Structure 1
Amino acid sequence: MKRIFLAIGILLSIADGYGQTRPKIKALRPGDRVPEIVFSPLNQSGKKSIKLSSLKGKVVILDFWASYCASCITFFKHSADLQDAFEKDVQIITVIPSNVNDNEARIRKVIKNWESYHQEKFTLPVVLQDKQSAQYFPWSSFPHFVWIDRNGVFRGISKEQGIDERAMKWAVADAYDSMKLAASSIDFPVNTPWIELLDPAQQNDLRIRTALFDALPGMLTNWGFSYDSVGHRTGLRINNLNCIAFYQAVCPELRSMPDNRFRFPTDKKEAVYCFEAVHRPLPEAVQQQWLKNQFDFYFGLQTSLVDTLVDCWVLTTNGTTVYPSVYKEEYTNLYERGVGKYALRHADPSLLMSYLNDVSTVPVQDESGVDFPIDLEIPAVTPMEEISMALEKYGLRLSRVRRNIQLFIGRPVGQLH
């Protein structure tokens, strides 16, 4: 039997004084007809706009992405090939939502770099700062794909693993039941939350409901917030993630922190859970602290950001920095994690650090000051000493030292020292 841990509480009455701007457009659910959306692509010469209604008779797939999402950009080649193969029956449109901090210059640079790397034109429509679709289809992570059938009906959302030739054939044949699509990227059912443990008469007095569940097989791995404009409630749902991802979901300062800077008990780092919270709207900072406290309670931890002296790797120059011949070219900026190997394709130093922290069990600090692109292709299991040797061609090296590093530490309650 599934274990369910429940916490029910009443917020201080002052919390009810805080509101939240209600969304102007209601999120759609599977089976809803999608209202007219007018897309204005950046890269469609001769076409100033594309109306969703003009695509009736085709399956429409909205590919939500952002310039900082390397996996999104890497996946474009796969999407472009599928578009060519199903040109008569499918239209893929790439969408950067309005609540993402991207601009036209940055997006055009991404497209230019992609075309340079693949030696082909980027033909998928690119829509920037789209407001309507972002509200119709709330999102929690990139990339994700919205499926709209031939008759303009919203069928569901999938991650990139659900975009392949078989899925395309199912969609063209209206066999959506075979695709196991999610109801939304956030998948927060505002009318039927997971936790229905109170008498209906108590619903009006309810302020907080939270629950931690075991992992749910078959559910998408993601997290996200949603808002119920009818019940005036905010919801957070976390699906099949470990406790590190829980804290990253509610603490923005932790989202860019590599996993090797989280010091948690091994069993907490490896197990995955699902979580749901339903509560009245709160100021953002109050909500973040309250949810963090909920996680501490459920996981039996006391968590804090701590500056401490630890062993780490430091990337430095060896005094003879070697600038590559392509230094003045644009970054392709790809970090590929394939089967059995990692590859950096003309990547900027920040992606190099992402790679080094992915493969190192201890933190890696950049003290090199380099600003040129890096190309590496290394087996997935490679000692840091060998990676250091591979970086020598750029005049770089990795050294094992002790540094004062900020860590996020979770100590079991009762073991606080």
Structure 2
Amino acid sequence: MNKLRIYTAIVTGVILFLLIAFQANGQIKALKVGDRLPAAMEHRLLNYKSAKVNLDELQDKVVILDFFDTFCSNCIEAMPKLQKLQNELGDKLQIIVVTWQDSATITKFFRTNQYLKEKNIKLPIIVSDTTLKKLFIHQGLPHVAWLFKNRVAAITFSEFSKAEHVERLYQDGKIQLPLKNDFENNEPEAPVVGDSAHSDRGGSVLTGYRDGATEHGFLIYRDTMGYGTYGTLKNMPILAAYVSMWTKVKKPKFLLNKERIVWEVADSNKYNYLSDKLSYREWLLDYGICYERKIMRNVDDLEFAKSALEDMNQLLGLAVYWDERINDCLELKKLPANKINRKTVMQKTGGGDTMMIEGTDVLTFAVDMTKKYPPCIDLAKTDIKMEIGEFKTMEELNLQLAKYGLVISKGRRAIEVLVIKEK
């Protein structure tokens, strides 16, 4: 009898161990769209009718899990939109924001954040999360998971949290939203489709937006055996794709602002995000591109990028090139010695924080970064070190530049521009 009891205890222990191990493995396995949620998982939360919630209890509603933390400004900025959506569709929808931070941190943040107080944000918050972040793994915030009937309906971006999508999922039981995948391997795993694999030119592929692909600019790789060179870019606007390629051929020392882009096309919105009706991600679904190219020999980045630019022009029916055009601008010049008023210079300087700038080319770039003025052209071309304070007008900046023998004035001259022309 004692042996039987011992045997039974051992078997029971093994079974319990296997069950616990199975459950633990299930909890840390990342979920994909279509997967069922693990059963009986409770989560601590704030701003809810109870101190804990089991997502099983919400299976008859669309559940949106919006991952955030207090350091994510985009997450905080989006919360009023989420609150409005919750207020409008409360009978069909439950939005829960999820954070790894503890209850005390989150309580204090919501109590002291004036923006959230003014917007009257009362969304339920899962705190001290260690489970959901493993089920829905991510690197960037915000990160959003959609659930319905205890299954994962979508893993997507925050801008798709809209009433029309909630209604569709609630009525149809399924929905297709762009996949957010923070862990995609960007390097090509195999040669792209194109010419013969034995061709010296290799091949190329141009497609539209690719679901689940991580957005990135033009990257170049080489086969470790020396048999080929690969290039790839994914989910980029066409203009950004060209700029990314051109930086490997010609690296401009100025900011490519709107005055330096010449559009010779029927509709520039196809090439660059300009919409005031759609979010960037929604626009990208229609106009984003993916491009891959392979050359069956090792070439340097310059040669590869030039061949990719020619290929893109042919595939898209475009001519994209650098040119010079007459344009309004600001000119940074050396100030004549007789124009420097030493007394005024010593009395008036920039207010607030200051920054050290080394060289007039860096200064012109900094002026362009304000996006308040026409392109700034460096005609002084010196390596002088300058300490520049805050300025609200060009007059205020010129008062600071005078002690370095420099001045910025309005001008009109030929400047470098990027031309995008439909053939």
TM range (shorter): 0.3 to 0.5
Structure with larger Rg: 2
TM-score, L = length of structure 1: 0.45
Question: Larger relative contact order (C-alpha < 8 A, sep ≥ 6)?
Answer: 1
TM-score, L = length of structure 2: 0.44
